[in-house]
Structure 1
């Protein structure tokens, strides 16, 4: 547009009277052929060079991946190297963290408390009763004598969780026995923060009267009951007498793979969901919705208990009890010395006493490491830990080193080695 404007306003700039400035020049056929041949030649040359470079790179050692060599294993300077490094990375050695970080006394009571802490549950647990009521059954004995349910009921139970072998199951068992007296399998559901076990009435054997009593003891003590009723009349609470059953969830088949859900909680139980009384649910989402409703019902019931504490509150209380009962009050200097160098070095006088006639030291050069490993032994303070240092104990050991019987409870690493206080010639030397 600019060239056209210039040619219109300034005719003296136009080279030919009938040609505008913005019109392309007419190239001759000879020039066009030469340009085309040069372009084709350049493209073919580039293609050949790229192919040659690719072929050379495929066999070039520089283009091949080099095998990574594993690092050479290095023996730690002391058994406490990695633990000190961990503490240093978490900044536990800073002055600001000193009021929140202490050593604990090592004894059998502490080890017993730690074992009890490991045995505590670390997830939320629920046990839920699942009862099958066939058509025409209106009493407790006939309901508990059911050893199997309908196909729709079995599909519903399969959707609640996965079957686990009670004899081999290591998770939450909901009070069921491992000797198969309360059944061999049970539906189980778990996440990272929760475990749920379902007491299914058809899974627990009930052949004799005592078996029915045992089944009633397991099912009746559950706070949440899920009842699958194929009877023509609605299910009544009094059919299975129990003081528990704070929440009753009843499922009625309607046909066309639809089900009506009846929720009957006690008056004091707060509201929960996601299902509500009278909901119509499709069979594809019925197990998941009923399971979520039963879990939330259990949480609502637990909120009414004045002394109820969650699993993380119980674990935090156990940790606080260990810290309060077994904390060792030390100064910052003594604390750093015991963590950085739990086994102090031998003083010059002790070295001179342990030297032989030729002036050589009679003790082992690995005295500090061996003694430090012995101090961490959970069974005895005089037996070295074989997984730290399998070397034999030295013949001469300073008795002052055996008094360092403390270790760090929350961890133990190394970044800056702080030597332990050295003994001076004026200090008393143990024999």
Structure 2
């Protein structure tokens, strides 16, 4: 029964039982709409001497250390004919490039799928000074990884965007790499002020071996996106989407 004191604006005479199993299925789908198991994250390369996003997005290839970092992220896959999660990339033609990087991730009994939008693997057009195709993907990813292959710190303000809420900046830690004889990475994180804190915490000092980063980074990326969804700008959009889904259900079964 409806609690009239708690819901004074509801008129009981307007409520009726719906004997339709499809309604239950639609409501289950509605509730599952907020349970994300598939994620897409951008990867942007910054080279020595580059300070503007038009320079970042113009990079067509990277150094050996950049390529090695992509191997840390996941498996390089061929897009044409790809049957698993594609993150909006074209798997029938070559409109979004020929390859990308994919990572299945298992945590607490759940399986997640991650597709990375690698800027250097997306199509490059000489006459497109705005790099629209590349920005269309990375600019719509809530979380972006910056591989800073430069000796200067990365400035989040150098990328013009209204949607990216978190940058996870990765660079080679020269001292640890030299000392231990294998690649080590330094990680820094920049969030918009409205993004709440999220786990796992960043260790101090924030230095990771290849294997450590491979295990730690997916969890940080996923939780970064979940936290960003609580920021007002994104939460407002999600609320609007949920309202529309409910309206559609009411229209069909009301």
TM-score (structure 2 length as normaliser): 0.70
Bigger Rg, structure 1 or 2: 1
Could you list the per-position Cα deviations for residues 131-164 of structure 1 after superposition, in whole angstroms to 9, with x for gaps in the alignment?
1112222222332222222222222212222233
Kindly indicate whether the alpha-carbon contact (under 8 Å) linking 1:275 and 1:290 is maintained by their aligned counterparts in 2. no
1:281 is the counterpart of 2:194: no
Could you say what secondary structure the match of 2:41 adopts?
strand
Structure 1 position 216 matched with structure 2 position 135: yes
SS of the counterpart of 2:211?
coil
Change (3 A) 1:266 1:147: same
Matching residue of 2:51: 138
1:6-405 aligned within 5 A:
124-178=37-91, 179-191=93-105, 193-210=111-128, 212-255=131-174, 256=177, 257-276=183-202, 279-304=206-231, 305-306=235-236, 308=238, 321=249, 325=253
Q: Find the residue that maps to 1:284 and give its secondary structure.
A: helix
CA contact (8 A) 2:144 2:167 kept: yes
Structure 2 gaps of 5+ residues are 1-16, 178-182
What SS does structure 2 have at the residue aligned with 1:142? helix
Q: Give the direction of change, closer, same or farther, for the CA distance of 1:209–1:239 in structure 2 (3 Å limit).
A: farther
Q: 1 or 2, which has the higher strand percentage?
A: 2
1:181 aligned counterpart, secondary structure? coil
CA contact (8 A) 2:18 2:253 kept: no
What displacement does 1:181 show?
A: 2.0
**1:274 Cα offset (Å):** 1.8
TM-score (norm 1): 0.43
Q: Deviations along 1:186-228, whole A, 9 cap, x unmatched? A: 1122355422211111111213233822112211221101001
Matches of 2:49 and 2:55 in 1, distance apart? 9
CA distance in 1, matches of 2:191, 2:56: 22
Contact 2:141 / 2:164 at 8 angstroms: preserved in 1? yes
How far apart, in 2, do the equivalents of 1:227 and 1:274 lie?
19
The offset of 1:317, in angstroms, is: 7.3
What's the secondary structure of 2:219's corresponding residue? helix
For the residues of structure 2 that align with 1:156 and 1:230, how far apart are their CA atoms? 11
Conservation of the 8 A alpha-carbon contact between 1:157 and 1:287 = no
Give the direction of change, closer, same or farther, for the CA distance of 1:146–1:139 in structure 2 (3 Å limit).
Answer: same
- The Cα of 1:263 is off from its aligned counterpart by 0.5
Query: Which secondary structure does the structure 2 equivalent of 1:285 belong to?
Result: helix
CA–CA distance in 2 between the matches of 1:297 and 1:233? Answer: 24
Question: How far apart, CA to CA, are the structure 2 residues paired with 1:222 and 1:198?
Answer: 10
Q: Is the 8 A contact 2:76 2:101 kept in 1?
A: yes
